[in-house]
Amino acid sequence: MSSESSHIVPYRTFILIWIALLILTGATVAVAQVDLGALNIWVALTIASCKSALVVFIFMHMKYEQRLFKLALLSALIILAVFIGFTFIDVLYR
């Protein structure tokens, strides 16, 4: 038997997350207009990470998953971040 349970998320939460995503998208556009030098990519990636975290945890209901599944996702994201970091370091010191 399945031990699944449905989690009802109120519409208010979805609307607040949608507004937060719109604000973060506006921040992305605003930061793209400012010349921060080498920090531009880091600021853009930080904002994109925040937006993806909101989508994963709220819209994809990762907030309600088991701890092992969360750990698997976190480890995959850490490995991805390491590879992206190595790529940036390689490009930076060429």
The answer as to whether 1 is a domain residue is no
CB 28 within 8 A of CB 48: yes
Amino acid 93: pLDDT: 82
pLDDT at 28: 94
Domains held by the chain: number: 2
pLDDT tens track for 17-49: 999 999 999 999 999 999 988 788 888 888 998
Q: Pick from 70, 66, 74, 64: which is nearest to 13 by CA?
A: 64
pLDDT, position 89: 86
Same structural domain for residues 55 and 14?
Answer: yes
| 55 and 19 within one domain | yes
* Residue 4: pLDDT over 70: no
Please give the Cα distance from 72 to 74 (Å, whole number): 5
Residue 63 in contact with residue 9, Cβ under 8 Å? no
- Mean of the per-residue pLDDT values of the chain: 87
38 located within any domain: yes
| pLDDT value at 88 more than 60 | yes
Q: Which domain holds residue 40?
A: 9-60
